[in-house]
Structure 1
């Protein structure tokens, strides 16, 4: 009878998620800057390469890493919360369903719950990042943004866009974790560590692609809400997620709901693969280091 492997302690899962998140963002961050620029443009957006060229020509290559500090500070807790919450909710839902086996439905529900948990952590960091990535920004660094927001809107101002961030993360995580469950089931069984790493990369990449297709409209709305600069006496056009989806659709067409999709999917599809690969590799390293009963 095969011995059941003991789950790793939370601290090791936290470290693996944090390390994976920092690795992913350092590689793919310029695509996030381009994505945000395209989403904030309410007119006819430039394409991916044209946006890259415009930023470099007008603002310099370093602009592609403008606003990197907030997501770097965020990535460790964000990714750690993502995978730890997914593990927690998965066990909780399996216990509630009186089953020891994860199903496709439970995987989607678990992912959505993990995304909801994650969203409460990321809002202030996302808000600061959007303010710095905006072409019209007058802020030199994240601390300047934070001070300005607190001075003008109070501490709760750091949670502007909470509702839209909630929906963005619910739908992305549901698509991501639900997809990787199904893809892993379809892939041939890995007979070697190298094959297992490849399976993780493939399933993570597909999951990242599906999650991006599902949540991009919500990401567009979030960028519009957080990127808006208040004008005294003027009611913001974008305030709540679903009404904002309708406004964008009505005024700019369905395609506008997928502004920034190409750089977003180019980041999050392979990024999801890199993320899952690094997480599993790091967890494997921890298991080998700790030895039985974690192996």
Structure 2
């Protein structure tokens, strides 16, 4: 029996749309954990439990605070997640031709993931910075809304301030995407071949969740210093500037464990979130192949 033919590649605009739908589905579901993660990373005094953090935020600041700053990531989520998947598909096609490969290997999956992560990072930096500023509880009285935060950052710090943390963001996304897509390839090779649509969805969720968890393990230290760099509002000396020196500084002053501050909330978001991303992206892609190609 001949091997099943690989699915037809989607045109770029369909890849982009499928990635956008997947990304927005994930962020609407998992965003409160991102708020908890950011606050933990900004703290220099130790870890606080997820449940206790959620309860404290709701009691002291109200439930709406769990979605404070979501406008910026929602606005960028379409191009961000669309870029993640569409760029990964485009880099896959490019690298297969460049290296004379006729099928995807795990090394290729890692390389395309890293390349897609760098591309994604270049797009999202300003939106990430505004989101971090909005999620920081010390800024609650400073910014009234996402648009207000953007206006005040531009007025006080200048346009280039929106790109603070670019280098750290590149490190963060290159590590996560390389781990995510590389592990997805490996896990799918190990899982029993799906015979039904439900089994295919289950395989995608398992592979995506494991990939998201591994990517989070790789990139959390870079995410911690990215948050610290982007959280600087211009008051006093700038303590964190570049990724590697900042990693060393946090480890020296607060211990190695501080580089994984907020990890539990982050992995609870991006583990299942990675599964949601892959399931929705694959489902939407399959629908588009069936009805529009």
**Same structural fold, with TM-score higher than 0.5 when normalized by the shorter chain:** yes
**1:195 equivalent in alignment to 2:212:** no
Tell me the equivalent position of 1:59: 61
State how far apart, in whole Å, the 2-side matches of 1:6 and 1:269 are. Answer: 28
**Residues 64-90 of structure 1: CA deviation (Å, up to 9, x unaligned):** 010011111111000111111101111
Deviates more, 1:43-52 or 1:78-87: 43-52
**1:223 aligns with one of 216, 221, 227:** 227
State how far apart, in whole Å, the 2-side matches of 1:104 and 1:208 are. Answer: 16
**Residues 243-285 of structure 1: CA deviation (Å, up to 9, x unaligned):** 0000000110111000000010000000100110000000111
**Residues 179-238 of structure 1: CA deviation (Å, up to 9, x unaligned):** 00000100011111111111101000000000000000000001000011222xx43111
**1:175 aligns with one of 175, 179, 187:** 179
**1:112 aligns with one of 91, 111, 114:** 114
State how far apart, in whole Å, the 2-side matches of 1:180 and 1:4 are. Answer: 16
Tell me the equivalent position of 2:87: 85
State how far apart, in whole Å, the 1-side matches of 2:10 and 2:109 are. Answer: 20
Aligned 1:133-172 pairs, distance under 5 A = 133-137=135-139, 138-172=142-176
Sort the Cα spacing of 1:5 and 1:40 in 2 relative to 1 into closer, same or farther, 3 A: closer
Tell me the equivalent position of 1:254: 256
Helix, strand or coil at the partner of 1:239? coil
Tell me the equivalent position of 1:6: 8
When the two chains are superposed, the root-mean-square deviation of aligned CA atoms in Å is 1.2
Deviation at 1:290, TM superposition (A): 2.3
State how far apart, in whole Å, the 2-side matches of 1:4 and 1:228 are. Answer: 48
State how far apart, in whole Å, the 1-side matches of 2:17 and 2:269 are. Answer: 22
Helix, strand or coil at the partner of 2:138? coil
Deviation at 1:5, TM superposition (A): 4.6
State how far apart, in whole Å, the 1-side matches of 2:281 and 2:143 are. Answer: 34
Instruction: Give unpaired runs (5+ residues) of structure 2.
Output: none
Tell me the equivalent position of 2:216: 212
Instruction: Give unpaired runs (5+ residues) of structure 1.
Output: none
State how far apart, in whole Å, the 2-side matches of 1:6 and 1:174 are. Answer: 23
State how far apart, in whole Å, the 1-side matches of 2:5 and 2:107 are. Answer: 27
Tell me the equivalent position of 1:129: 131
- TM-score normalized by the length of structure 2: 0.96
Count how many residue pairs are aligned between Structure 1 and Structure 2: 289
Sort the Cα spacing of 1:224 and 1:288 in 2 relative to 1 into closer, same or farther, 3 A: same
**1:49 aligns with one of 44, 51, 58:** 51
State how far apart, in whole Å, the 2-side matches of 1:9 and 1:160 are. Answer: 34
State how far apart, in whole Å, the 1-side matches of 2:190 and 2:99 are. Answer: 24
Deviation at 1:142, TM superposition (A): 1.0
Deviation at 1:3, TM superposition (A): 6.2
**Residues 50-73 of structure 1: CA deviation (Å, up to 9, x unaligned):** 211211121111110100111111
